[in-house]
Amino acid sequence: MNTQKVQKEKEVKSNGVNQSPKLLPLAQAVKPTEESKETAEFANIQKFASKLPPTAEERIKRIEQFKALSERYNVLKEKDNDLKLFIAGNDKMTARISLENQAGFKMEIRNSNVIEKVLKTMQDELNILLADSENEVLNFEI
């Protein structure tokens, strides 16, 4: 009875027509079936199941891959340091950025606001690349 009373109180008259507020249907919780439980358990078991040890050749290849990943990380770290030094030494008066494409076209920017935005974008992108590279190095399995 209370719900009927509340709904009648919420009815709104507009242009002489009674309109009751529209109610959204409630989503019903889906209970996992026995098959989905078994599949999830099997996936967890497979995730932690011991893998066959890699052969000597596989380990050597993985070491070479790890060396390439570590070199990439070191290069990105150096570039990050170079960019930080450039930003620290930027006097915002005489700084300039030069761009040149393969066809030999050159463009030089001296506007301090533009240079600041370009440097910010470069720093953001470099931070993303550096974080990805670091994750690859940390999660690499030989």
Q: What is the value of pTM for the model shown? A: 0.58
DSSP H or E stretch at residue 25: none
What is the rounded CA–CA span in Å between residue 78 and residue 9?
A: 70
**Taking Cα atoms as reference points, which of 86, 79, 82 lies closest to residue 130?**
79
pLDDT for 98 beyond 60: yes
**Taking Cα atoms as reference points, which of 62, 94, 80 lies closest to residue 123?**
80
Alpha helix locations (H) across the chain? 2-10, 34-48, 56-89, 112-139
What is the rounded CA–CA span in Å between residue 41 and residue 35?
A: 10
pLDDT at 12: 46
pLDDT at 32: 60
pLDDT in tens, 31-81: 666 667 777 777 777 766 666 777 889 999 999 999 999 999 999 999 999
Tell me the C-alpha to C-alpha distance, in Å, between residue 66 and each of 61, 73, 77, 135.
Answer: 9, 10, 16, 12
pLDDT in tens, 106-134: 999 998 899 999 999 999 999 999 999 99
